[in-house]
Amino acid sequence: MKKVLRTIKDNYGKKTPTVVLSQRGGLFRLWQIICFSSQDYNLGNCRCESHPSSEEVPVSTAEIVSRFGVEALDGFDEPGREQIIFNAFGVEAKELERALGLAYWFGFNPLPGLRKGTGNRIVFGEDPDRIAALDKEPGTLFIVNSRGEVSVRVVRRKL
């Protein structure tokens, strides 16, 4: 799904999207025009040869809400594993897993530094279904195995 969040009138009086939110592969992505003089979008005479005219980047749920309001999320799927990992660590899941896998391959334990740097609840476990004792506390639990793969368990507050 894609949703236009902002528009601008181009040189011909037509509405041109400047910010578009999409959700692909479980991750929110924000596409936006970064050169408001770009010929590509009929906004001016810049040919954008030494810089890009637009960019698309992954974005956290909190940033979407702070910049565009909670209504911007209407119609999108609930945040999945990919989005939860991005929200917590600021990097895409595949990048985090690659770094964790390399750390384990070189014989380093990356989890203490990751816990300290992010403040997230992170445990080591080869089988995420066998981590039962930590399910009592509400919140998000990240389970990392020896290959660097990250599993996510969201524990809801019990009423």
Band of residue 130 on the pLDDT scale cut at 50, 70, 90: confident
State residue 61 phi and psi, 5-degree precision: -60, -40
Instruction: Single out the residue of 116, 110, 121, 115 nearest to residue 154, CA to CA.
Output: 121
What letter would DSSP give residue 27?
Answer: E
pLDDT level of residue 129 (50, 70, 90 thresholds): confident
Nearest to 93 by CA among 148, 155, 154, 153: 148
Indicate the pairing of strand 121-124 with strand 139-144: parallel
Separation of alpha carbons 103 and 120, rounded Å: 19
Determine the average pLDDT of the residues in 15-37. Answer: 96
Average pLDDT over residues 82-102: 97
Task: Give the pTM.
Answer: 0.88
Query: Residue 25 above 60 pLDDT?
Result: yes
The average pLDDT across 115-135 equals 86
Give yes or no for residue 39 having a pLDDT over 60.
Answer: yes
Going 113 to 96 to 154 to 63, the CA torsion angle's sign is positive
